[in-house]
Structure 1
Amino acid sequence: MHRTALDRLGTEPLLLAPDLLLLPGGPVRGHGAVVDGTGFGAVGPLPALSRDRPDLEPVPLPGHLLMPGFVDAHHHLTQSFGSSLAYGEPSEIFRRVWEPLERSLDEEDAYLAAKLAALRSLRGGFTAVAEAGTRSPAGADPVADAAREAGLRVVLGSVANDADGTHDGPGAALDAAEKHLARYAGDALVHPSLAISIPEAATERTLRDTARLAREAGAVVQIHVNEHLAAVERSLLRHGARPLEHLDRVGALGPQLLAAHATLLTPAEIALLRDRGAAVSYNPVASAWKGNAVLPALALDQAGVRFGLGTDGTRADAFRLADAAETAQRLTHGLAVGDSSCGGGWTWLERATRGGADAIGLGGLTGEIAEGRAADFLLVDLEVPELAPSWDLPWELVRTADRDQITAVAVGGRLRLWRGRPVDWDDRALLERAAAAGRAAVERAPITRAHPVSTEHRARGAAR
């Protein structure tokens, strides 16, 4: 397959004719999609599309699956300089690693870190991410600039904490929140969101008022909730309620909430999430690498709780994320009760695409191949040894596929990546600048780790 035709995306309507098209009900043959401007103009059987649009010559995409781009429901784009610094570390590393690192980033650093993360996301098949709010003094603007230039759709959080010194009281926090929502209203790729790092970082007034502002603006509020045992215990001592319960008591639990992690949920809290219509980001790799528990995602699915899959900035491979989502449920639930399906492959594809879009507040815009949706999509090479022969593509996409099979990534009706490389900007120059800036940022940040890097850690163990 040649790139030439896809280069015309965004300049003229195209009728794409892949071997397979992934719809909500599963993969289908003989279907196509018209990309007209930034969105899908029509989707359906190729003969019908050709009849309705005789002006369009179908663009054959042999050996490829056309599927929705993946949605990362929880990310920290300006943490990319630190990546492996958190490996092997105990929980609540945000206090010892991430916040010190982010606070050391100036405007240029924040821009480079975010663009590096955006490139990783696109290479991994993500066309949209929810950015949970940087703690860089430069604020959200460099992150927005980086996402736009990379071609990544981003739900951009602005931190509204007012109980930890971020803002000087509720008035300042709410004023900044209103300005952020207004600044990015109507942006093609940047969708404004509010963020509070954890419930204890904001006063009750700010928790309640950010929820109100977000509802009025049709935005989401991103909050890390019930992630670590220490945070749950602090909330019980301070408020006599668990973090999620505290949000409900102050009027901050509703459809506007995107609760990050929520790994420590009681059955009553699952019902509370369902009844209030709140959404959750299920971050299985983060649980494996530094968490206290795994979100009971299958229980949420059965209860009808909205949720998507998030990386938490761990690794940017959407196929591996879907695999981790299923694997974590199998290890924590399926093995003990003899559940050999654990949601089936379709559950994790759904939560990684359409369900994730709904969770981050973009359900009417992206997450599926459908008329009127944004043309955020992937072309996935199916002619690989791992899929020959193919028997059950949804399961195979979850368990076997990987980002190396992604031939093309399109966002907003424009080709952004071809075979892992940006089509309209220099990724090699970015890598060079980001490597130098990242080393300098980490060296000056007051990061505290429990362990040294792995080679030194191993040497110390051998010496003992």
Structure 2
Amino acid sequence: MKRRIDLLITPRWVVPVEPAGITLENHAVAVDAGLILAVLPLDEARLRYEAGTTVELPQHVLIPGLVNLHAHAAMNLMRGIADDLPLMRWLQEAIWPAESRHVSAAFVRDGTLLAAAEMLGGGITTCNDMYFYPDAAAEAFATAGMRAVVGLTVLEFPTPWASDADDYLRKGLTVRDAWRGHPGISFSLAPHAPYTVSDATFQRVRALADELDLPIHTHVHETVTEIREAIAEHGMRPLARLARLGVLGENLIAVHAVHLDDTDIELLAHHGCSVAHCPTSNMKLGSGIAPATRLLSAGIRLGLGSDGAASNNRIDLFQEMRHAALLAKASTLDASALPAHTALHMATLGGARALGLDDRIGSISPGKSADLCAVDLGGPFSQPCFDPVSHLVYVAGREHVTHVWVNGESRVAKGVSLLQINDKELLRIASLWHTRLAN
């Protein structure tokens, strides 16, 4: 007798990511109660299962849902507000003044909804976020039905969200407590950067992270100026300072990590840290090129991040995969550097491992949550296709995503969003905030 299940997906190819380097043809993925039940040959699947829903994808590749390891989702409302500026001018002249005037719970909720819709439409099912009003961000991600790790931002100076480091932590932990137990929303501690957070605050963050078993999510070594000023003020490079303070560890996600010497890489590797590589943002802000191949060679967990739409202009992990692979080749003069399978691993299981969620997401493996993405490679501009993973990185874009599932629930089907909030409402939100920010 056939076993009844919720969903059977029958793509042309399955790229499970784990085991590495494998592409399965004419296989099916069985899903029940939100979990991946089995990955097996199509003929066998038809004999074993009777599915409530069968989704046939004869020209598609099925991959794990993408994991955006670093984003400022609400900054979708500031997309294009200040282009072609280096990081500190961009922050000081445009972003921070705009935030001081406009950031509120409504701003964060609306901007995060826009970002979640954009991410889901591009196959991103998990986002590691960092911004203000984490309660509003959590509400937006939950409304969209997207998995998120919401950062509890910490700074020394006041913003509309909080007055000082103690206030950020107090308010953030209260939000975490209110959302405890939610199946799709979890939290990290997110001290903004070494140049905006004191020694005492970093030490408190480390203690809280250990006590509560939370990731630490922070920007570090993004620009040459940051490092030069850190040496002038503290007598050491930022990573050395974080090591001295005991902040480095297996739960640390170091965002950007562009300017690293051998000692920096040794510190990250020795302490088991992860890195969120944000190639497009780093290019657009003129920050530089992170040494991705050296990090991988050192055994450091590496994931991909979009950063915010204000410093990237789109939240698109297909773009990040392509840029990461091409920049690695160009910067090392080695065409074999960071091949397509590695780029896909970074966008999926690499990010999941950095977040400590690899037991639940990041690969198409029995027992994991059915966070899945189907990409259509059947169009004339994707043909011929000799290697679907190569096409995912070097040919396809987010516009080729047709189906997305989170925990087995359909979020995008046949290219159409199934979110509770429709495009008309999203456009109304964007127009409202465009008017406010422009004045």
TM score, norm. by length of structure 2: 0.91
One of 48, 67, 70 as aligned partner of 2:66: 70
Q: Report the equivalent of 1:319.
A: 318
Relative to structure 1, is the Cα distance of residues 263 and 303 closer, same or farther in structure 2, using a 3 angstrom cutoff? same
Q: In the aligned structure 2, how far is the partner of 1:16 from the partner of 1:428?
A: 27
1:165 equivalent to 2:163? Answer no
Partner of 1:4: none
* Cα distance, 1:123 vs structure 2: 1.6
- AA aligned to 2:182 is D
Please state whether the residue corresponding to 1:26 is helix, strand or coil: coil
Stretches of structure 1 that go unaligned for 5 or more consecutive residues are 1-10, 445-464
- CA separation in 2, counterparts of 1:153 and 1:120? 14
Aligned to 1:199, what secondary structure does the other structure show?
coil
Residues paired across the two proteins, number: 425
| Percent identity between the two aligned chains | 30
Matches within 5 A, 1:39-118: 39-50=35-46, 52-53=48-49, 59-92=55-88, 93-103=90-100, 104-118=102-116
| Cα pair distance change 1:432/1:301, threshold 3 Å | same
Matched with 1:427 is 422
Residue 292 (structure 1) aligns with: 287
User: Contact (CA 8 Å) 1:255, 1:277: kept in 2 or not?
Assistant: yes
Q: Which whole-Å CA distance do the structure 1 matches of 2:167 and 2:111 have between them?
A: 27
In structure 2, the residue corresponding to 1:234 is in which secondary structure? helix
Quote the offset at 1:404 in angstroms: 1.8
- Aligned residues of 2:5 and 2:30 also touching (Cα < 8 A): no
Return the offset for 1:297: 0.3
Q: Which residue of 2 aligns with 1:16?
A: 9
Check whether the contact 1:227–1:291 (CA below 8 A) recurs between aligned residues.
no
Residue equivalent to 2:135: 141
Q: 1:52 to 1:419 in 2, by over 3 A?
A: closer
**Alpha-carbon separation, structure 1, partners of 2:82 and 2:123:** 24
> What's the secondary structure of 2:109's corresponding residue?
helix
- The question of 1:328 aligning with 2:327 is answered yes
Q: Identify if the C-alpha distance between structure 1 residues 291 and 185 changes in structure 2 by more than 3 Å, giving closer, same or farther.
A: farther
Distance 1:54 1:116, change over 3 A: closer
Cα distance in 1 between the residues matched to 2:53 and 2:392? 30
Alignment-derived partner of residue 31 in structure 2: 35
Q: Residues 287-319 of structure 1, C-alpha deviation per residue, up to 9 Å, x if partnerless?
A: 110032111001001110111011112212222
Structure-2 change in CA distance of 1:346 and 1:184 (3 Å) = same
1:309–1:150 distance in 2 versus 1, CA, 3 Å: same
8 Å Cα contact 1:160/1:195 also seen in 2? yes
> SS at the partner of 1:340?
coil
Asked if the contact 1:38–1:374 (Cα under 8 Å) also holds between the matched residues in 2, the reply is yes
- Greater CA deviation, 43-52 or 103-112? 43-52
Q: Distance in 2 between matches of 1:320 and 1:42?
A: 30
CA, structure 1 residues 140+41, in 2 after alignment: closer, same or farther (shift >3 Å)?
same
Q: CA RMSD in A?
A: 2.2
1:296-445 matches, cutoff 5 A: 296-313=291-308, 314=312, 315-334=314-333, 339-444=334-439
Measure the CA separation in 2 of the matches of 1:49 and 1:218. 39
> What per-residue deviation string (whole Å, max 9, x for no partner) do you get for residues 253-312 of structure 1?
111111110101111111110110111110000111003211100100111011101111
Matches within 5 A, 1:107-256: 107-134=105-132, 139-161=133-155, 163-165=156-158, 171-256=166-251
Partner SS for 1:159: strand
TM-score scaled to structure 1, two decimals?
0.86
Cα 1:406–1:326, aligned 2, differ >3 Å: closer, same or farther? Answer: same
Give per-residue Cα distances to partners, 1:294-345, cap 9 Å, x unaligned.
11001001110111011112212222221111111122222xxxx1211211
Change (3 A) 1:257 1:55: closer
Cα separation, partners in 2 of 1:169 and 1:122, compared to 1, 3 Å: closer
Give, in angstroms, the shift of residue 47 of structure 1.
Answer: 4.5
1:57 CA displacement: 8.2
**1:27: how far off?**
1.6
Task: Give, in angstroms, the shift of residue 14 of structure 1.
Answer: 1.5
Q: Once the 2 structures are TM-superposed, how far is the Cα of residue 58 of structure 1 from its aligned partner?
A: 5.7
User: Aligned partners of 1:187 and 1:37: how far apart in 2?
Assistant: 17
Deviation, structure 1 residue 153: 1.4
Q: Say if 1:78 and 1:102, in contact at 8 Å, map to a contact too.
A: no
> 1:458 aligns to what?
none
